[in-house]
A and B are shown apart, each in its own frame.
Chain A
């Protein structure tokens, strides 16, 4: 018999981290359910003693379901980045001349590429469309350090300003471009 450290991790290796909003939602959900169940237990017709959690199998099973949901939800939490994904939704609806200056609409392929990238990033980017046909992801820190990625279908153009290296500009190509971008965001906060 063979074992893995964590099947969830293996199936979804990029989903190890938790997002604050998801966590808040999950906890609220669990606690609402939990308190509801406990309240029902204590104020049920059969009285307190027979219905205390852990002594009433039916109630306990119900509680266990709630816990299980919490566990599953927490373990499958992904970085949804609601704002970034909503912005991508908005960008996908932009039509030709969206900037009143002849800018093109954005292709489905580019939008999908951006969604794929967003789901793998360690921090939520500020997302905006550009008139030259790319979608821009930006990060900025309080100390003034800044990094932006202009994502095209076939490449990612990077511009950064750091306290150590100053201004840098280069282009990422190929199948490893997304990974390199992902690593650069890790480094930005590293």
Chain B
């Protein structure tokens, strides 16, 4: 099958902290600010949450037009849109380095990473897929979501296709993440290395989407 012509529009990097990690909110914000102050034109917002609050309640939110960062005591998420003039891989590598430096400074251990990317397709996904799937046979469905999973080494690689012709939605999402049972630190792998590995897998998927 001929693969679609795609480019990446948006990327989310997720870093999962080791359970019961001693996260000091202000410390992590300071470290992140030192690394990312030139990336954001805005200031990070520390949420006034007591220490007793559940771990998954956000402690910090930092938003700009094309970038967004949030963390709680379980994970840190960084999302960025990719302007056409930039190379996604270079941006990802740069951001990964900065974020992991900040996390390392706080002596937080990363046990797992995830990389979610949203792709635009210049071709009609429906046209490409209709040789195999006829969406209009599914009770006149207006939208089709098709997904499948591949396991590559110790990483899950999910592929999602979403097609809605009436709403002009025509996109692909890749979700690449390390297996929770293969804790990175126990494998001797750093969060930075694991995220770079996810980026390599993404690069491979970009070449061979289907």
Contacts and interface: CB of A to CB of B under 8 A. Distances in A.
A68 B120 contact: no
A176 to B, nearest CB: 6
A20 interface: yes
Interface in B163-202: 165, 167-171, 173, 175-177, 179-180
A71 interface: yes
A6 B14 CA distance: 8
A177 interface: yes
B12 A177 contact: no
Interface residues of B, number: 55
Which of under 10, 10 to 19, 20 to 34, or 35 or more describes the interface residues of A?
35 or more
Binding site secondary structure of chain B: strand
B163 to A, nearest CB: 9
A177 B168 contact: yes
A70 B54 CA distance: 11
B63 A5 contact: no
Given A74-B58, A178-B168, A186 B9 contact: yes
A23 B61 contact: yes
B118 interface: yes
Interface stretch (B20-28, B44-52, B96-104, B129-137): B44-52
B116 A9 contact: yes
Nearest to A180: B120
7 contacts: A3-B156, A3-B180, A5-B14, A67-B49, A70-B57, A175-B165, A179-B168
